Amino acid sequence: MTRQSFVSHIVWNLYFHPLSGLPGPKLWASFRLPYVISLWRGRLVYDIFEWHERYGDVVRVAPNEVSFSDAGAWRDIHCRRPGHKPFKKNPVWWGEVPGRAESIVSASTSANHERLKRALEHCFTDRALVSEEPLIQRHVAKLVARLKEQAEVSLDCSTVVNIVDWYMFTTFDIIGELCFGDPRAFDCLENKVFHPWVLEIFSYFRIGALFSTIRFYPLVEKVLMRLLPAKAMEAQERNYRWACNKVNHRLNLDVAQEDFMSKLVPQLDTSVGQSRTTSPDAMSLAELHNNAYVLTVAGSETCGTVLSGTTHYLLENRDALRELTKEIRDAFGSANEMTFGSLVALPYLNAVINEGLRLSPPVGGSLAHVVPEGGDTVCGIYLPADTHVGVHQWSTYRSSRKFHDASSFRPERWLELSKKDLSSPYYEDQRTGVQAFSVGSWACIGKNLGMAELRLILARMAWSFDMSLPRVGKRVEWGSQKQYVLVEKTGFDVQLSLRHG
């Protein structure tokens, strides 16, 4: 692009573009680069939050992108509206990986997405959850047992641990067994370290997010794809193949066990390639491989982030931690009584988790979508076709215009009393804007399983340990960690003392 055409491009973006009337920082509206640089710095979520605080619920954050922090945008972007075309996922972020079959996440056509969703949903029905609970209970009991072992050998019956690691050990061990039918697939709790496969996955989060931004510049993408060292591609392929082999191994196991595969095998179309000759909902083996891979990542990192964030805020808010601990210890006579079913009924535990999801969502930014052909409205604002749009979670959840004492951890805001009592400072909180599992066609398929895991792990921790911040140890300020679509968690220490009595 010559200097002259670059300048006219900026002038057009600022003054003649159909979005030029929308509020937002002029530099960001001029060209895409400030947005890309902010993401590369891991600051995009925080920068957009600042723009929303300054400009309001609708902000133009790039020449062709509009960010919303309005609860109504969930409905308009994510849900089917009679008489409207669906907003598809933005291929910049959700593109297919070349050479792999489609996964539920990459499937952008609704027909394919719906088929894969129907197939995978068998893993997440109420009945499926009941059958999977013993497996999950076993791993959570192991988490507690390993931590207790460490506390028991010290004179003061306590131990200091990086709790983020321990939560992630647990969520990966759980998902490893659910996806691959192998209780020791990752064996992180046993070895007290991450499995090398998991470490590789962590490294791809950042690279994947950075790489996606290249798609804003198709020419650069083409060149870069050519220059990319074969070694880097091979490493990713090896990582993927490892998961495929684990799936194949599980398929050949001759034992009856209740995991995801026991629900997915009946959906498997064994005909060659990706053609489907049996049920219209069937999955090919290649699709099973990729979807198992996606489930492994989607079902572990997310839970680990919310557990870590919630624990961080509980430790900083001793009254909330005391209230939670009391509720759990009063409700049960023994740890075995804590089940998926019994924990649903605890109001404070659920309020704590809702508040944890508000302040530490696994995806802080937008779940990017594209306005369909012909253009459409979001929150009453007309947007031309192909405009990139999304609900910015961090800005919606932390908005001082939507929540009383928005940046503070206040589980009370989720209690029934606060919703009904006109004199409660939280009465007018816009709770419906908090949708950390998303809503509509692409909403999280693992929500119930995820919530059950969060409840069980937090409850078992509060039941077994008195938790506190150690005098000396690693701390974190949750809202200053870098985010590359997902939160790059730096870790923090917790003192776990065996409970008295």
Shortest Cβ distance from residue 306 to ligand HEM (Å)? 4
d(CA 385, CA 300): 35
d(CA 497, CA 155): 11
Q: Give yes or no for residue 362 binding ligand HEM (CB under 6 A).
A: yes
DSSP state of 214: H
For ligand HEM, the closer of residues 58 and 303 by Cβ is 303
Q: Give yes or no for residue 105 binding ligand HEM (CB under 6 A).
A: yes
For ligand HEM, the closer of residues 117 and 482 by Cβ is 117
Which amino acid, one-letter code, is at 197? W
- First-to-last alpha carbon distance for the chain, in angstroms, is 73
Dihedral (C-alpha) 24, 27, 28, 32: value to the nearest 10 degrees? 160
Q: How far is CA 153 from the centre of its chain?
A: 36
Shortest Cβ distance from residue 438 to ligand HEM (Å)? 3
Shortest Cβ distance from residue 121 to ligand HEM (Å)? 10
Among 303, 346, 379, 485, binds ligand HEM (CB under 6 A): 303
DSSP 215-257: TTSHHHHHHHHHHS-HHHHHHHHHHHHHHHHHHHHHHT--S--
Among 287, 446, 460, 487, binds ligand HEM (CB under 6 A): 446
Q: Give yes or no for residue 371 binding ligand HEM (CB under 6 A).
A: no
Shortest Cβ distance from residue 378 to ligand HEM (Å)? 15
For ligand HEM, the closer of residues 42 and 299 by Cβ is 299
Shortest Cβ distance from residue 53 to ligand HEM (Å)? 22
Count of residues that interact with ligand HEM, criterion CB under 6 A: 25
166: which residues sit within 8 A by CB, 6+ positions away?
A: 143, 146, 147, 189
CB under 8 A, 24+ apart: contacts of 41-46: 41/482, 42/481, 42/482, 42/483, 42/484, 42/488, 43/482, 43/483, 44/365, 44/483, 45/364, 45/365, 45/392, 45/394, 45/483, 46/394, 46/479, 46/483
The response to whether 303 counts as a known ligand-binding position is no
For ligand HEM, the closer of residues 28 and 177 by Cβ is 177
For ligand HEM, the closer of residues 116 and 285 by Cβ is 116
Pairing between β-strand 158-162 and β-strand 493-498 as defined by DSSP bridges: antiparallel
d(CA 147, CA 124): 30
Among 436, 459, 485, 487, binds ligand HEM (CB under 6 A): 436
Which residues, numbered 117-176, are part of the site for ligand HEM (CB under 6 A)? 117
For ligand HEM, the closer of residues 160 and 359 by Cβ is 359
Q: Give yes or no for residue 389 binding ligand HEM (CB under 6 A).
A: no
Segment contacting ligand HEM by CB under 6 A, of 372-380, 402-410, 430-438, 472-480: 430-438
Segment contacting ligand HEM by CB under 6 A, of 34-42, 159-167, 199-207, 449-457: 449-457
d(CA 109, CA 119): 16
- Are the CB atoms for 494 and 470 separated by under 8 Å? yes
DSSP 53-108: HHH-SEEEEETTEEEE--HHHHHHHHS--TTS---EEPHHHHPPPTTS---TTT--
Among 445, 459, 485, 496, binds ligand HEM (CB under 6 A): 445
Shortest Cβ distance from residue 427 to ligand HEM (Å)? 26
Residue number with the smallest Cβ distance to ligand HEM: 446
Among 25, 86, 181, 299, binds ligand HEM (CB under 6 A): 299
Question: Can you read off the two tokens belonging to residue 48?
Answer: 């957009």
Q: Give yes or no for residue 396 binding ligand HEM (CB under 6 A).
A: no
Segment contacting ligand HEM by CB under 6 A, of 37-45, 132-140, 291-299, 326-334: 291-299
For ligand HEM, the closer of residues 214 and 443 by Cβ is 443
Shortest Cβ distance from residue 304 to ligand HEM (Å)? 9
159: which residues sit within 8 A by CB, 6+ positions away?
A: 147, 150, 151, 495, 496
d(CA 395, CA 392): 6
Q: Give yes or no for residue 338 binding ligand HEM (CB under 6 A).
A: no
Q: Give yes or no for residue 104 binding ligand HEM (CB under 6 A).
A: yes
Question: In DSSP terms, which residues pair with 389 in a beta bridge?
Answer: 66, 369
* Nearest CA among 146, 149, 192, 197 for reference residue 175: 197
Segment contacting ligand HEM by CB under 6 A, of 154-162, 185-193, 298-306, 479-487: 298-306
In the annotated binding site for heme, the residues are 444
- Binding residues, by number, are 444
Binding site for ligand HEM (CB under 6 A): 78, 104-105, 117, 294-295, 298-299, 302-303, 306, 362-363, 367, 436-438, 442-446, 449-450, 454
